[in-house]
Structure 1
Amino acid sequence: MTETLLNKLNEKDYIKSRVDDQIKWYDAKSTLNQKMYKRLKFFEIFFSVSIPVLTAIQAGSDIGWILYLIGLFGALIALFSGILSLNKYHEKWINFRTTAENLKRERIFYITGMGPFAESRIGKNRYPTLVERIEAILANENTEWGKYMMENKDNNSASESKK
């Protein structure tokens, strides 16, 4: 954040428009990714457990359609596993939750004047320290996201070059 913008935003505006807004965003993204991960993982487990049961039922009967159901469940397991692997819902859930909690912790420390914002550590003007620490958390998240995107780009390029 530039020095000019920092001077224009007072503490309350910065906390409301930047910190609280980012906490809400990361919290919402974490919740969304957690729900997607748990839903897909539930169905992956459900269909995995169903296959041996259906196989046992099929072995003792002449119900032919069960074989098709077993095949369908196997395909769904592969589909859900692929979606989980491709979209990285679990990793995103953890990363977004970690960032949201780090932002919340900094906000609480700042409001209470504790931890890194104790007057004995930084004097009376705590606001620039808050901005530096919040922006460092957000920059770190952006850096990690960039690394993740580059790794996936490299992995996708390597996969495509093998074709």
Structure 2
Amino acid sequence: MPPEDKTTAHSTPADDSNYPRLENQIAWYDAKSVTSQRRYFALKSLQIIIAAAIPVVSLIDPTKAVVPGALGALVLVLEGFQELGSYRQNWQKYRSSCEALRHEKYLYMAGSGPYTDADVEKRTRLLAERVEAMISEEHTNWVAQFKNNEGAAPQT
């Protein structure tokens, strides 16, 4: 990821308490996205490797079906953990939320989009409203996902 450009058309007001919240939320979503992505890739990689080993193990000693059977069961268990954790879905949702918040940050810093021609007070209020609306929408979607997957542990 390229480094962030710290030079902007509009500086962040020193008393703007919304900006640190925005930065914290971007960092949180970014970290959660990376964690979910790593877990997803780790579980899927193990599944692929183990699934590929099943026919090889079967050829080595066809009389011992217990080893390929155990490997098949392990693939199923790993898939279950991946599904319970919703790592792929969470990775994508967290990344999407992170990037939407970054987009909002850059619009705010540049004084463009909805922040064009707005005074400092209006820009600050508008930033708070828009960021909180994004976070609220993501939370609402998370609750709906949890309700649809009754019994699954919520991922925070």
TM-score where L is the length of structure 2: 0.81
Report what 1:138 is aligned to: 135
User: Residues 34-58 of structure 1: CA distance to partner in whole angstroms, max 9, x if unpaired?
Assistant: 1100000000111111111222232
Report the residue type matching 2:41 in the other structure. K
Deviation at 1:10, TM superposition (A): 3.1
Unaligned residue ranges in structure 1 (runs of 5+) = 1-8, 157-163
Work out the CA distance in 1 between the residues paired with 2:34 and 2:55: 33
- Alignment: residue pair count: 136
Give the drift of 1:114: 1.6
CA distance in 2, matches of 1:52, 1:41: 18
**Which of 10, 15, 36 is the equivalent residue of 1:10?**
15
Greater helix percent: which structure? 1
Q: What letter is aligned with 2:78?
A: F
Q: Which amino acid counterpart does residue 95 of structure 2 have in structure 1?
A: R
How far apart are the structure 2 equivalents of 1:56 and 1:116? 65
Measure the CA separation in 2 of the matches of 1:36 and 1:127: 37
Give CA deviations for 1:52-107 in whole Å, capped at 9, x if unaligned. 12222324xx7x4xx33312211110100111111111001111111111111101
> Partners of 1:149 and 1:10 in 2: how far apart?
37
- Name the structure 2 match of 1:149: 146
Higher relative contact order (CA 8 A, sep 6+): 2
Deviation track 1:124-163 (CA, whole Å, cap 9, x = no partner) reads 231111111100100001100110111112xx4xxxxxxx
Answer yes or no: is the 8 Å Cα contact 2:29–2:98 preserved in 1: yes
The runs of at least 4 consecutive aligned structure 1 residues that moved more than 3 Å come to none
Structural mapping, 1:50-65, within 5 Å: 50-59=53-62, 64=64
Flag structure 2 segments of 5+ consecutive residues without an equivalent. Answer: 1-13, 152-156
- Mapping of residues 25-104 of structure 1, within 5 Å: 25-59=28-62, 64=64, 67-104=65-102
Q: Which residue of 1 aligns with 2:8?
A: none
Is the 2:18–2:124 contact (alpha carbons within 8 Å) kept by the matching residues of 1? no
Structure of higher CA gyration radius: 1
TM-score scaled to structure 1, two decimals?
A: 0.77
